């Protein structure tokens, strides 16, 4: 089997290679093709004890891989994804390029892999903040029916990429002439700004939480409002989620449902200061849920706190899991 990673030299692409190796794709049974922009062609990447040479995206298409994992941005995906499909490749795309396309399934494997038809050759990976949230919400929605979500996210600089990490580290070290990715310093700061502002005052990152959640859960009736905050954190994204259900719930049953949801780990022992944190989530594939408590101000409402490594489950791991499900099917 031949697997291409497009954008292999980037932050998520590098993590995809790491996840592929962890999940058994580093053996001689699999040929891994690493592709990136022209400026990276010819570079070598260590993978599972061998050296892989970076090729152009055109060269990767010519090799007709069975699967292509994309993490090179929406422009690259729009340019090349369907060319891979025409070559017989199944593409799993991590960008925003195809998420709103009604013909392209938007997939979190534990939640809605059934949305993928046998004939689908292009599959979209949701936004990182959406992935961890819908994984925590999916079984609760099936049991109680979600009416409304009020979401506040606290998103790691890793969600912006390597340049944002360098900005934060440079500020921490007191460096001068730092390449500013953000409009303000991020060290010892935070700002309610993720993505680009729209005409209605919301950002594109906030809009993704609305549109993608409804698509994945197959329910356009859910009322959703969100505020995205960028924070000086490396380990992952955190989310404060207020959920209003159509039906009444028992808090003990909520705990049981979450504990039995695939991919979820409940960390909730507040008497001993046990709750999810990015520091704990970093490098892990699970979605961690804690601070589970009834909202006393509103009937049939619940508060939860959700944390996950946005580069792992929020991007690389979810994409590899989609491919694994396709292979197994």
Asked if 237 is an active-site residue, the reply is: yes
Number of domains into which the chain is organized: 2
What pLDDT digit, counting tens, does each position of 110-149 carry?
999 999 999 999 999 999 999 999 999 999 999 999 999 9
For residue 107, what is the domain's CATH number?
Answer: 3.40.50.720
| Residues 137 and 278 reside in one and the same domain | yes
Task: Identify the sign of the CA torsion 107, 278, 285, 273.
Answer: negative
* Percent of the chain at pLDDT exceeding 90: 100
Q: How many CB atoms lie within 10 A of CB 90?
A: 20
| Residues 116 and 241 reside in one and the same domain | no
DSSP state of 163: H
Q: How confident is the model at residue 321 (pLDDT cuts 50, 70, 90)?
A: very high
| Residues 212 and 320 reside in one and the same domain | no
For residue 148, what is the domain's CATH number?
Answer: 3.30.360.10
| Residues 75 and 158 reside in one and the same domain | no
| Residues 89 and 212 reside in one and the same domain | no
| Residues 58 and 19 reside in one and the same domain | yes
Active-site residue, selected from the candidate residues 128, 187, 193, 325:
128
Write out the DSSP string of 118-151.
Answer: TT--EEEPPPHHHHHHHHHHHHHHHHH-EEEEEE
| Residues 153 and 227 reside in one and the same domain | yes
Question: Which range marks the domain in which residue 241 is found?
Answer: 129-310
CA angle at residue 234 from 281 to 195, to 5 degrees?
Answer: 110
Q: Name the token pair of 296.
A: 């006393």
Active-site residue, selected from the candidate residues 141, 187, 193, 237:
237
| Residues 154 and 212 reside in one and the same domain | yes
Using alpha carbons, list the distances in angstroms from residue 155 to 39, 206, 285: 30, 12, 17
Distance CA 133, CA 154 (A): 13
DSSP state of 284: -
| Residues 96 and 227 reside in one and the same domain | no
Q: Name the token pair of 182.
A: 């953000």
What pLDDT digit, counting tens, does each position of 264-301 carry?
999 999 999 999 999 999 999 999 999 999 999 999 99
| Residues 186 and 122 reside in one and the same domain | no
Name the nearest CA neighbour of 258 among 142, 136, 144, 145.
136
Asked if 141 is an active-site residue, the reply is: no
Mean pLDDT of 211-237: 97
| Residues 161 and 264 reside in one and the same domain | yes
| Residues 159 and 78 reside in one and the same domain | no
Mean pLDDT of 251-273: 98
């Amino acid at each position: 089997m031949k697997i291409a990673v497009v954008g292999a030299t980037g932050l998520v692409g590098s993590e995809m290679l790491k996840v592929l190796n962890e999940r058994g794709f580093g053996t001689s049974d699999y040929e891994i093709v690493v592709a990136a922009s022209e400026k990276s062609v010819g570079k070598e990447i260590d993978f599972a004890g061998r050296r892989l040479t970076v090729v152009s995206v055109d060269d990767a298409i010519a090799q007709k891989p069975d699967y292509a994992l994309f993490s090179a941005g929406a422009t690259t995906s729009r340019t090349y994804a369907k060319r891979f499909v025409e070559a017989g490749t199944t593409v799993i795309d991590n960008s925003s390029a195809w998420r709103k396309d009604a013909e392209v399934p938007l997939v979190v494997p534990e939640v809605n892999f059934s949305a993928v038809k046998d004939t689908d050759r292009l599959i979209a990976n949701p936004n990182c903040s959406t992935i961890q949230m819908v994984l925590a919400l999916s079984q609760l929605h099936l049991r109680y029916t979600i009416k409304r979500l009020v979401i506040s996210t606290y998103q790691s600089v890793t969600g912006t990429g390597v340049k944002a990490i360098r900005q934060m580290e440079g500020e921490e070290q007191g460096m001068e002439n730092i390449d500013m990715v953000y409009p303000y310093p991020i060290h010892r700061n935070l700002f309610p700004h993720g993505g680009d502002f729209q005409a209605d005052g919301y950002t594109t990152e906030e809009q993704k939480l609305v549109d993608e959640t409804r698509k994945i859960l197959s329910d356009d009736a859910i009322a959703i409002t969100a505020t995205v905050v960028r924070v000086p954190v490396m380990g992952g994204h955190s989310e404060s989620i207020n959920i209003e259900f159509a039906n009444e719930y028992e808090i003990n049953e909520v705990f049981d449902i979450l504990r039995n949801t695939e991919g979820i780990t409940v960390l909730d022992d507040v008497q001993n200061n046990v709750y999810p944190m990015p520091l704990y989530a970093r490098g892990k594939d699970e979605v961690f849920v804690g601070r589970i408590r009834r909202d006393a101000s509103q009937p049939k409402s619940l508060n939860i706190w959700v944390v996950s490594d946005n580069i792992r489950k929020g991007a690389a791991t979810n994409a590899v899991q989609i491919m694994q499900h396709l292979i197994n099917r």
